[in-house]
Amino acid sequence: MAAGKLTEPKVISDFNQKTVCLLPTGFYFNDERWDKIWQRYEEKGDTLGMADLKELFPDEATVQNAAIDNGDTFERCRDKK
């Protein structure tokens, strides 16, 4: 796996296709962070939410300052008419 910032959201799933977590665009992803995510998933036994990611990665702005889709926030991502 190559390290770097994600250019699009990334869904991590287990071998049963159950969602482990959803990482936002811009999240810095590397092997160390991969291991942290899987360790927390195994401890929790369930999908990781944004609160889990905030705790795991306190220095990661993309999870600490996550936008809320209120219909306006993500307007730039929607198809323009």
pLDDT in tens, 12-48: 999 999 999 999 988 999 999 999 999 999 999 999 9
Q: Which residue has the higher pLDDT, 2 or 24?
A: 24
Contact of 54 with 24, CB cutoff 8 Å: no
Domains of the chain, by residue range, sit at 4-77
- pTM, to two decimals: 0.76
Contact of 48 with 40, CB cutoff 8 Å: yes
22 phi and psi angles, rounded to 5 deg: -120, 120
State the average pLDDT over residues 1-10.
84
Helix (H, G, I), strand (E, B) or coil at 79: coil
| pLDDT, position 73 | 47
Return d(Cα 19, Cα 1) in angstroms, integer. 19
